[in-house]
């Protein structure tokens, strides 16, 4: 089994899986069958990821070697328009030369996400400062930065008490991004959700996962799931205002939180340590699907 399986779920049953070991696969039938696709050169990266909006158009972030504490890191962003048959560079930052793309050399970069052919986002973070959400309006050629604020009861400070943003999702005109970090006041690893209503120019705190250490699967703008184990999962239908127990049958052997991604309100995927499970009813029932390449 691979060490990780990073999933990018698109509408109409299209799903992509990227392994940092250097493999990329596409499925057009919700993961029942897989086809291996090509990757750009030098694409293997500890924080590299892919993001696809359909079965043809996608982007890949390949980061370089970070400085201590993620003080700085270079990155290269690639684009494909032919289903990962070929790739082209759209932004390059080597961490040494000045960048013309708008992405600073400061902080580590990860969790690239595109919501349509022109609008995309890239998360950046380090151990001592508030994280950055970069946004592009031209397919990844140029970028602008916004700072993710501290949520209530959380203070970013040196020593690893910082937030690490996840993947930005768009629901109509609403942008959502989860961010996880160790809270110095509570000594808990908590996950928060932030919202932007102006295309990512500004972000505000919206809600928090009810249990420490678990990730949040964004199903719609208002319905989120924290999938843990049977009798432990939670659901909110009011964008984090209130949470209640959710009777999902999800289970796993690994003692770590899964990453949960939904391509639409019905079809979702959960992955941990290379294993993949799928739900076709909005997260209530889950079953294992074949991990491609194994």
* Residue-wise pLDDT tens digits, 19-63: 988 899 999 999 999 999 999 987 677 778 999 999 999 999 988
In the block, which residue shows the tokens 């127990």? 245
The string of DSSP codes covering 21-39 is: TTEEEEESSTTSS-EEE--
Residue 230: phi and psi, rounded to 5, are: -55, 135
Q: How many residues does the chain have?
A: 294
Distance CA 165, CA 151 (A): 13
Q: What is the DSSP letter of 68?
A: G
The candidate with the shortest Cα–Cα distance to 279, out of 294, 265, 258, 293, is: 265
What tens-digit pLDDT sequence spans the chain (294 residues)?
778 899 999 999 999 999 988 899 999 999 999 999 999 987 677 778 999 999 999 999 988 778 888 998 888 899 999 999 999 998 777 554 445 588 988 999 999 999 999 999 999 999 999 999 999 999 998 999 999 999 999 999 998 899 999 999 999 999 999 999 999 999 999 999 999 999 999 999 999 999 988 889 999 999 999 998 767 899 999 999 999 999 999 998 877 889 999 999 999 999 998 999 999 999 999 999 999 988
Query: Beta-carbon neighbour count of residue 256 at 10 Å?
Result: 11
Please report how many Cα atoms fall inside a 13 Å half-sphere around the Cα of residue 62, on the Cβ side.
23
Residue 286: which residues within 8 A CB-CB, separation 6 or more?
Answer: 248, 249, 250, 251, 270, 277, 278, 279
In the block, which residue shows the tokens 């808990």? 188
Cβ atoms of residues 78 and 40 within 8 Å: yes
- Burial grade of 101 (CB within 10 A; 0-12, 13-18, 19 or more): middle
């Amino acid at each position: 089994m691979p060490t990780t399986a990073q999933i990018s779920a698109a509408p109409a049953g299209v799903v992509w899986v990227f392994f940092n070991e250097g493999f990329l696969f596409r499925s057009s039938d919700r993961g029942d069958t897989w086809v291996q696709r090509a990757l750009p050169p030098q694409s293997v990266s500890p924080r590299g990821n892919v993001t696809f909006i359909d079965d043809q158009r996608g982007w890949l972030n390949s980061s370089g070697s970070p400085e201590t504490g993620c003080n700085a890191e270079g990155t290269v962003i690639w684009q494909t328009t032919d289903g990962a048959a070929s790739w082209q560079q759209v932004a390059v930052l080597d961490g040494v030369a000045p960048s013309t793309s708008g992405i600073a050399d400061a902080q580590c970069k990860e969790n690239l996400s595109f919501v349509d052919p022109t609008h995309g986002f890239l998360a950046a973070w380090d151990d001592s400062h508030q994280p950055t959400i970069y946004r592009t309006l031209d397919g990844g050629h140029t970028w602008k930065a916004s700072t993710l604020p501290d949520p209530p009861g959380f203070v970013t400070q040196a020593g690893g008490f910082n937030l690490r943003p996840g993947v930005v999702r768009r629901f109509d005109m609403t942008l959502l991004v989860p961010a996880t970090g160790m809270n110095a006041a509570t000594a808990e690893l908590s996950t928060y959700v932030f919202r932007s209503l102006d295309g990512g120019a500004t972000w505000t705190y919206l809600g928090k996962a009810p249990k420490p250490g678990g990730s949040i699967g964004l199903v719609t703008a208002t319905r989120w799931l924290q999938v843990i184990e049977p009798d432990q999962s939670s659901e909110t239908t009011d964008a984090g205002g209130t949470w209640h127990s959710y009777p999902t049958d999800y289970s796993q052997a690994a003692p770590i939180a899964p990453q949960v991604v939904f391509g639409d309100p019905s079809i979702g995927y959960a992955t941990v340590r290379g294993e993949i499970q799928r739900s076709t009813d909005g997260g209530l029932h889950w079953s294992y699907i074949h991990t491609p390449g194994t």
